[in-house]
């Protein structure tokens, strides 16, 4: 190809070394720093919601597991039989039932020790206490309340079996509700992130209308221009997401550290490994931004680029 100087004559001035290539879209044309801050806060909240859901699910699972592994039997002694003797007979009967690991009659001293914090010493001495048998069930194949009741009936023991199913159901329902609420909070945060990005991309397209027109008149395809917005907002969301996730990790890690071996607190167990579930958050934020920016920029470019044909 012929050189410009050969075509047009001698050069007019010396050339200085050129700078490196610059981004085709102007920086911060539509409050991008503000958007990054919003995304960071939203991701921080999403991380806390996620950790809260996981912790609640863990706690509820643990409580339900404990309740599922135990049953309590209240024995009513027959005529001419003492309560302790009836409880001992029931424990012996239950110990032989499949699905039971251990059954033990609770003596009065143990029952009084359990009740003392609520009743006090004075009332306990004259209080008629129920005769109880505590049953530890096989965690893999626990015997049901029906099986335990039938075994006691066959042995001629009048008793009531409580396998904690009522209480366990409430715990599991509560845990499910907490998990659902946390998930809803997470989804709401993701939707808010998407909405903020859609708004920012629209504003960005409008603010850079002249730039876009120049690019398209210089031969850029709509797809290429949309990609500029996609890349810009995806990187922005990734950076904001990483910042928000980082803060959440530090906070959760600090609380976990202070909580010792039990996690966030004795009531909310969380393992160090659980913090890893936060790691995809920046990627999720970037993906939401990528999709939102693509759809929004595509529509905006279509509107911008459509030639007028009024007449």
Partner 1 sequence: MPRPRRPAADPAPTPETVRLTGVGFGYAERPDVLRDISLILPAGSFHFLTGASGSGKSTLLRLLTLSERPTEGQLILFGEDATAVTARDRPGFRRRMGVIFQDFRLLDHLSVFDNAALPLRLRGAKAADYRADVEEMLAWVGLGDRIGQRPTALSGGEKQRLAIARAVMSRPELILADEPTGSVDPAMADRLLKLFQSLNRQGTTVLIASHDEAMARRSGARLLRLNDGRLAPAPATAAA
How many Å apart are CA 61 and CA 86, to the nearest integer?
35
Instruction: Quote the least distance from Cβ 22 to partner 1, whole Å.
Output: 5
Judged by CB, which is closer to partner 1: 24, or 239? 24
Q: Which residues pair with 131 in a beta bridge?
A: 75
Judged by CB, which is closer to partner 1: 10, or 261? 10
Using CB under 8 A, pick the residue from 141, 218, 257, 258 that binds partner 1: 218
**At residue 83, what are phi and psi to the nearest 5 degrees?**
-65, -45
Using CB under 8 A, pick the residue from 79, 122, 258, 308 that binds partner 1: 308
How many Å apart are CA 91 and CA 76, to the nearest integer?
13
Task: Count CB atoms within 10 A of the CB of residue 27.
Answer: 9
Q: Judged by CB under 8 A, does residue 24 bind partner 1? A: yes
Burial level of 234, CB count in 10 A (0-12/13-18/19+)? buried
Taking alpha carbons only, the member of 284, 300, 287 closest to residue 199 is: 300
Q: Judged by CB under 8 A, does residue 125 bind partner 1? A: no
Q: Are the C-beta atoms of residues 214 and 242 closer than 8 Å to each other? A: no
Instruction: Quote the least distance from Cβ 53 to partner 1, whole Å.
Output: 43
Q: Judged by CB under 8 A, does residue 311 bind partner 1? A: yes
Q: Which stretch binds partner 1 (CB under 8 A): 113-121, 187-195, 211-219, 250-258?
A: 211-219
Q: Judged by CB under 8 A, does residue 305 bind partner 1? A: yes
Question: Which residues make up the interface to partner 1 (CB under 8 A)?
Answer: 1-5, 7-9, 11-27, 210-211, 213-222, 224, 301-302, 305-311
């Amino acid at each position: 190809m012929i050189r410009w100087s050969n075509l047009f004559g001698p050069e007019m001035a010396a050339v200085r070394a050129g700078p490196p290539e610059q981004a085709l879209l102007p920086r911060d044309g539509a409050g991008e720093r503000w958007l990054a801050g919003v995304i960071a806060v939203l991701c921080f909240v999403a991380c806390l919601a996620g950790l809260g859901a996981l912790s609640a699910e863990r706690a509820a699972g643990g409580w339900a597991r404990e309740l599922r592994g135990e049953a309590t039997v209240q024995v009513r002694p027959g005529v001419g039989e003492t309560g302790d003797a009836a409880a001992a007979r029931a424990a012996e009967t239950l110990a032989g039932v499949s699905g039971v690991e251990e059954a033990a009659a609770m003596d009065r001293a143990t029952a009084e020790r359990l009740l003392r914090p609520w009743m006090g010493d004075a009332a306990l001495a004259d209080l008629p206490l129920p005769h109880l048998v505590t049953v530890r069930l096989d965690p893999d194949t626990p015997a049901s309340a029906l099986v335990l009741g039938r075994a006691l009936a066959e042995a001629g023991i009048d008793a009531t079996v409580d396998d904690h199913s009522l209480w366990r159901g409430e715990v599991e329902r509560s845990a499910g509700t907490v998990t659902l609420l946390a998930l809803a909070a997470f989804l709401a945060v993701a939707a808010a992130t998407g909405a903020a990005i859609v708004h920012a991309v629209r504003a960005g397209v409008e603010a850079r209308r002249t730039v876009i027109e120049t690019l398209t008149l210089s031969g850029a395809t709509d797809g290429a221009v949309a990609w500029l917005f996609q890349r810009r907002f995806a990187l922005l969301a990734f950076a904001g997401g990483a910042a928000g996730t980082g803060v959440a990790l530090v906070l959760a890690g600090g609380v976990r550290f202070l909580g010792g071996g039990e996690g966030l607190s004795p009531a909310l167990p969380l393992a160090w490994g659980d913090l890893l579930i936060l790691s995809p958050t920046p990627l999720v934020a970037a993906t939401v931004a990528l999709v939102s920016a693509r759809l929004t920029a595509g529509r905006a470019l279509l509107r911008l680029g459509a030639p007028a044909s009024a007449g």
